[in-house]
Amino acid sequence: MRTMAVMAAAVVLGAGAAAQGQTLPAKGGGWEEAIHKLSSEDFSVRQAGQKDLQKAGLADCEDLEALAYAAEDPEVRQQLLVRVHDIREAAAVNPPPVTLELENATLGETVKALNKAAGLSLAAGADSGGRFTLHAREEPFWEVWFALNRQGSLAAPRDGRTVHMGSQGPTRGAVTGPYAAFAQEIGYERTVNYQKGGAAGAGTLTLAYGVAIDPRLRVLRYSPPHLTSVVDDAGHERLVPAAVQTSLQPAGREWMYRDSVALSVIPGGKEIVSAKGTMHVTLIVSQEQVEVPDMAAHVGMPIVVGGQRMIFSKFQMPPGGTGNIEFSASMEALPQNQDREMVPMRVELMDGAGKPVYSLQLTGGWGGSLGGNYKPPIKGIFSVPQRVKEVDVPFELKNIALP
């Protein structure tokens, strides 16, 4: 009988969890005094300890978790674990600001520093040789990203992980917490039809824009951004009425969601003073996750996560890692969950060098082939949301010059 190491965990997004039985750290992150207060018999002292505990942030979670599992008082342990849980849940919908110090850094050095500052796992891709200098303290992620982009033309990862240089992305936008709206371009086009005596058409005006979402957020579903009002400096409403797509669709690993709208061509007005809109996202607050270290060695063995089971009947690597990966898998709910709606399972494949192979959400079987050059073994990460939060994201763009 074959055996395979499969790592499973229930994860509150924002940070990893410490294992039970972990010994008390030598310093405990400086929280020992608060712990002593929490275990005091004096009510006022316990209240002071609880007040101290409210000062903890995401960076303190691992220390607090270790202290919790080492605590002899079960009430203290419970208070610490609840605080850690609350911090991580808050970070899952509104990640903390970023502090980043760079001085003449390469793309690789910049990505490494950004990973450390924001808790990401990005990889450096194509590098055009640019350098980055930035001194940002407690700034929203998108303010930091836009500042870097003004120096080095960064492209937001399409695979959610690899950052390239040389493809100009947005350099500024309206930032609100983990979201940023930006105007991409506004264009005017007028056609002259020479087959109709050279008569000129009325012309069309189009505004392209987008909404960027902090990559530390996990988006399960989204409805595309759409504008609800576009007003110029003469007071004209410019938005041309059109059908709006409000149905939710599965999210990939993209950071930016784009759209474009037609605007009325009206005499007068030099700029758009206000373009208001909204989009909707379903954020994953916590999820159950299973990791399979070697997919090829796991064929025929069930992968159970979030009340669902997936079995790969085939996962064949090409010789030398170059060529097509051939695979086939079935998916079903466990018997006790047969009467429930299937929740999308996210499947992420990564090669032995940490390079993304594929990522998608599934509610059924999966099969086909994936081409490329990958270093074995291929690792599989399978996750199913346990808790989600529905979020409306209002935004407003201002002062967009008209052509």
* Whether residues 139 and 45 fall in one domain: no
- Matching residue, tokens 């030598």: 26
151/71 same-domain check: no
Q: Would you say 374 and 296 are in contact if contact means Cβ atoms under 8 Å apart?
A: no
Contact present, 215 and 255 (Cβ < 8 Å): yes
Beta strand 162-165 with 123-124 is parallel
**Same domain, yes or no: 302 and 384:** yes
Residue 201 domain-assigned (yes or no): no
302 and 367 together in one domain: yes
- Could you say which of 172, 189, 206 is where a domain stops? 172
User: Which pLDDT value is given to residue 16?
Assistant: 38
For residue 166, what pLDDT is reported? 73
Is the same domain home to 299 and 383?
A: yes
CA distance 257 to 221: 12
Q: Mapped to the 3 state alphabet, what secondary structure does the chain carry?
A: CCCCCCEEEEEECCCCCCCCCCCCCCCHHHCHHHHHHHCCCCHHHHHHHHHHHCCCCHHHHHHHHHHHHHCCCHHHHHHHHHHHHHHHHHHHHCCCCEEEEEEEECHHHHHHHHHHHHCCCCEECCCCCCCEEEEEEEECHHHHHHHHHHHHCEECCCCCCEEEECCCCCCCCEEECCEEEEEEEEEEECCEEHHHCCEECCCEEEEEEEEEECCCCCEEEEEEEEEEEEEECCCCECECCCCCCCCCEECCCCCEEEEEEEECCCCCCCEEEEEEEEEEEEEEEEEEEEEECCHHHHCCCEEEECCEEEEEEEEECCHHHEEEEEEEEEEEECHHHCCCCCCCEEEEEECCCCCEEEEEEECCCEEEEEEEECCCCCEEEEEEEEEEEEEEEEEEECCEECC
Mark 4-20 as b/e (b = at least 16 C-beta within 10 Å).
Answer: eebeeeebbbbbeebee
Do 78 and 154 belong together in one domain?
no
In angstroms, the CA 299 to CA 153 distance is 43
Where in the sequence is the domain holding 155, given as residue range(s)? 96-172
Assess whether 33 and 111 both reside in one domain. no
**244 within some domain:** no
Give the integer Cα–Cα distance in Å for 30 and 64.
10
Q: How far apart are the first and last CA of the chain?
A: 71
At which of 172, 196, 213 does a domain end? 172
Are 89 and 100 in the same domain?
Answer: no
The label of the residue with tokens 């002292």 reads: 45
Confirm if 383 and 287 have CB atoms less than 8 A apart: yes
> CA 32 to CA 95: how far, in whole Å?
26
Q: What gap in Å lies between CA 266 and CA 163, rounded to an integer? A: 41
Same domain, yes or no: 106 and 85: no
How do the pLDDT tens digits run along the chain, 403 residues long? 333 445 555 555 554 333 333 333 334 457 888 888 888 889 999 899 889 898 888 888 888 988 888 888 899 999 999 998 888 888 889 999 999 999 999 999 999 999 999 988 888 887 888 899 999 999 999 999 999 999 988 888 877 788 888 767 889 999 999 999 999 999 988 877 777 666 666 788 999 999 999 999 999 999 999 999 999 999 999 999 998 888 999 898 889 999 999 999 988 889 999 999 999 999 999 999 999 999 999 999 999 999 999 999 999 988 877 788 999 999 998 887 777 777 889 999 999 888 888 888 888 889 999 888 888 999 999 999 999 999 999 999 999 999 8
Residues whose CB is less than 8 angstroms from the CB of residue 125 and which lie 6 or more positions away in sequence, other chains included: 162, 163, 164, 165
For residues 100 and 145, state if they share a domain: yes
- What's the CA gap between 66 and 84, in Å, rounded? 11
CB atoms within 10 A of CB 251: 21
Compute CA distances 263 → 1, 152, 158, whole Å.
66, 32, 29
- How many residues are there in the chain? 403
- Name the domain count of the chain: 3
Distance CA 95, CA 102 (A): 21
Asked if residue 90 lies in contact with residue 82, where contact means CB atoms within 8 angstroms, the answer is no
- For residue 173, what pLDDT is reported? 95
Q: How far apart are CA 8 and CA 90, in angstroms?
A: 23
- Is the backbone peptide bond immediately before 377 cis, with ω within 30 degrees of 0? yes
What are the residues facing 27 on neighbouring strands?
none
The answer to the question of residue 186 being in a domain is no
Pair (50, 133) in one structural domain: no
